[in-house]
């Protein structure tokens, strides 16, 4: 497969670290020092689907492709629009694609959903079952945040969407996804699925309806395994770190990015680092950073790019491809 075009979208409302200080009654500069994120966009009007469709249209325009030329739409969001049905049919409807004209599916690997979707779409295109796919990641990350208990965690997140049109062609050199469920509960929203029955376990449901994160547990697991994961991925691609032209990581937090750079031995100049400007956009983070890099002229034709990240679960993901 190869990526034929990318696009992204942001809500109009920008929330600064200073505004959060004022809202929380903190001293000026507290939020920025605690999170490292200066700005994040938040959805005050419109929906997750509006963001998804805006990013999808931008990707289609970039690829010079009409929506009717797509035969598969994949929604790769960290949090869906609703529990049931899937989110992808609403993207189809938002793009004006007629009933029955395209297949739609959802893929969820939390922050790595875009990478998981790319790996899946690559196999489907190789099989000949589909020719061109639209992958869309859109997340309203500003909701269900623990402002009362973990404001330094809540301040990390921002809303956004990004999309990619994927078609046949040479490009993918290696992909790898690995999970470490020993730390499953280190990053979660426990309610909303079948774990708690809203009718009979209302108190437990409400208690687990907000995001929770154990940063120390995630740090320990990443420090133990992530560098080796990256080494194995690059070996599969037949490349060294120096042969990677650009690293496009999940923008988990400014601190997490610096930790990843040190841990893996990357040249900081080769790493896309926009976490301080947009925050952690969950599944939209990696494709948003990719689109940002493309539009900034950081990906020349033929460049070798490493898409890389971690997610709740806990999972690691990486994909090496030529653009």
Burial class (CB in 10 A: 0-12, 13-18, 19+), 12: exposed
Which pLDDT tens digit goes with each residue over 150-203? 999 999 999 999 999 999 998 899 999 999 999 999 999 999 999 999 999 999
pTM score over 0.95? yes
Domains and CATH numbers, the chain: 2-169 (3.40.47.10), 174-322 (3.40.47.10)
- Cite the active site residues: 111, 250, 280
pLDDT, one tens digit per residue, over 61-112 is 999 999 999 999 999 999 999 999 999 999 999 999 999 999 999 999 999 9
What CA–CA distance (Å, rounded) separates 142 from 279? 10
């Amino acid at each position: 497969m190869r990526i034929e075009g990318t696009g992204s979208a942001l809500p109009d409302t920008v929330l600064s670290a200073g505004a959060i200080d004022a809202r929380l009654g903190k001293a000026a500069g507290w939020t920025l020092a605690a999170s490292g994120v200066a700005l994040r966009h938040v959805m005050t009007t419109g929906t997750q689907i509006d963001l998804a469709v805006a990013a999808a249209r931008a990707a289609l325009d970039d690829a010079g492709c009409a929506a009717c030329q797509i035969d598969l739409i994949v929604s790769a969001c960290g949090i869906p629009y609703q529990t049931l049905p899937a989110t992808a049919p609403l993207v189809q409807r938002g793009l004006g694609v007629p009933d029955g004209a395209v297949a739609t599916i959802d893929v969820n690997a939390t922050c790595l959903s875009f990478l998981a979707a790319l790996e899946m779409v690559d196999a489907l295109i190789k099989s000949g079952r589909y020719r061109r796919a639209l992958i869309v990641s859109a997340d309203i990350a500003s909701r269900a945040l623990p402002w009362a208990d973990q404001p330094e965690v809540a301040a990390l997140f921002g809303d956004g969407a990004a999309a990619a049109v994927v078609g046949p062609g040479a490009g993918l050199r290696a992909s790898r996804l690995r999970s470490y469920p020993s730390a499953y509960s280190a990053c979660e929203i426990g309610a909303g699925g079948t774990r708690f029955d809203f009718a009979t376990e209302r108190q437990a449901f409400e208690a687990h309806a907000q995001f929770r994160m154990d940063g120390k547990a995630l740090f320990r697991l990443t420090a133990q395994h992530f560098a080796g994961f990256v080494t194995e991925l690059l070996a599969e691609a037949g490349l060294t770190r120096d042969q990677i032209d650009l690293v496009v990581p999940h923008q988990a937090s400014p601190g997490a990015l610096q930790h990843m750079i040190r841990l893996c031995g990357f040249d900081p100049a080769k790493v896309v680092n926009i976490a301080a400007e947009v925050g952690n956009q969950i599944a939209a983070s990696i494709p948003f950073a990719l689109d940002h890099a493309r539009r900034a002229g950081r990906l020349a034709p033929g460049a070798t790019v490493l898409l890389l990240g971690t997610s709740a679960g806990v999972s690691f993901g990486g994909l090496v491809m030529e653009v």
